Amino acid sequence: MISVLIPTKDRPQLLLEALRSLRHQTFSWFEGVVVEDGAGEGLEVVRRLGDPRLRALPNPGQGQVAARRAALEASRGEIVLFLDDDDLLLDPAYLYRVWRVLSRQGGVAYGEGVLMWGLEEIPFAPKEVGDWLLRDNRLLASGTALPKKALLDLGGLDPEMGDYWDWDLWLRAYRAGLPFRYLRGRNVGVRVHGENQSYGRRLGERALYLERLRAKHGLPPLELKDHLALAQGESLTRPVPQGPLPQKGL
């Protein structure tokens, strides 16, 4: 079984769309573990759907990493896959493809996708993992999966890494010699907005976590980037659309 770990906070409509994209998957042997980090709207979304494959629980800690750690602890599948509450699984066969490659070969499965920037879709292709992982985090957290045992053997999710919990995990997997399995195609839709951009809100806090990551892994100085900048090959100078997030139906 694949356990899909979904932290959520104050975005019930986007969470609903993320869960609908999960329920549209052709591979049905999954569970969605939603951890509510806000006022409880996510718990209500899951209750209303009434799908026995979906479970929701309040965050016993605080923040996105604590929520993911709680989801991981509650998960029952042999494979865990990360999905943010504002992102979508676009390929209906994506979970099947993840299950097929990891059940046969193990390692870390990750994919291509699109960045949903306002009404624009920007293709995002991180390429095969190599030494660039020591400089840039091109992997999309949403849609990336690995066996639960491998994740626990690597030490789980480090709560000290904050926004860079994912890059920290990929670096540990890379240095441990885990193979990375690259899945091509329009797999995942990642919404781009001020809350998840490195030049958006909490700029100073993101810089602090980036320096903490650099020091932990003995990396050279790192530039604060995000996936939009990586996709465009630009420095962080392009403004992010302001206002409410686009509400795209499925």
CATH code, domain carrying 32 = 3.90.550.10
When the pLDDT of each residue in the chain is averaged and rounded to a whole number, the result is 90
**84 vs 118 pLDDT, higher one:** 84
Cα distance between the two ends of the chain: 25
pLDDT of residue 194: 58
Whether the predicted pLDDT of 202 surpasses 80? no
- Is the CB of residue 6 less than 8 Å from the CB of residue 32? yes
- Could you tell me if residue 248 is inside a domain? no
What are the residues whose beta carbons fall under 8 Å from the beta carbon of 140, sequence distance 6 or more?
110, 111, 113, 124, 126, 188, 190, 227
Tell me the whole-structure pTM to 2 decimals: 0.90
Question: What does DSSP say about strands 87-89 and 180-191: parallel, antiparallel, or unpaired?
Answer: antiparallel
Whether the predicted pLDDT of 197 surpasses 60? no
Paired tokens of 243:
């206002």
- Is the CB of residue 184 less than 8 Å from the CB of residue 112? yes
Whether the predicted pLDDT of 53 surpasses 50? yes
- Domain assignment of residue 203, given as a range: 2-232
- Could you tell me if residue 242 is inside a domain? no
Which residues is 114 bridged to in the sheet? 123, 189
Cα gap 166→139, rounded to integer Å: 9
Whether the predicted pLDDT of 195 surpasses 70? no
Percentage of residues in the chain having pLDDT higher than 70: 90
pLDDT of residue 131: 96
pLDDT of residue 200: 54
- Could you tell me if residue 239 is inside a domain? no
pLDDT band at 116 (very low <50, low <70, confident <90, very high): very high
pLDDT of residue 118: 84
- Is the CB of residue 112 less than 8 Å from the CB of residue 187? yes
- Could you tell me if residue 243 is inside a domain? no
Minimum mean pLDDT among 64-73, 114-123, 186-195: which range? 186-195
- Could you tell me if residue 98 is inside a domain? yes
In angstroms, the Cα distances linking 239 to 199, 234, 242 are 8, 12, 9
pLDDT of residue 201: 61
Domain count for the chain: 1
pLDDT band at 233 (very low <50, low <70, confident <90, very high): confident
Q: Is 189 exposed, middle or buried (0-12, 13-18, 19+ CB in 10 A)?
A: buried
**47 vs 249 pLDDT, higher one:** 47
- Could you tell me if residue 244 is inside a domain? no
- Could you tell me if residue 42 is inside a domain? yes
Whether the predicted pLDDT of 180 surpasses 70? yes
Cα gap 8→16, rounded to integer Å: 11
- Could you tell me if residue 249 is inside a domain? no
Whether the predicted pLDDT of 199 surpasses 70? no
pLDDT band at 243 (very low <50, low <70, confident <90, very high): very low
Cα gap 81→74, rounded to integer Å: 13
How many beta carbons lie within 10 A of that of residue 135, not counting itself? 13
Mean of pLDDT values over 117-145: 95
Cα gap 5→208, rounded to integer Å: 26
Whether the predicted pLDDT of 176 surpasses 50? yes
Paired tokens of 86:
């504002």
pLDDT of residue 229: 84
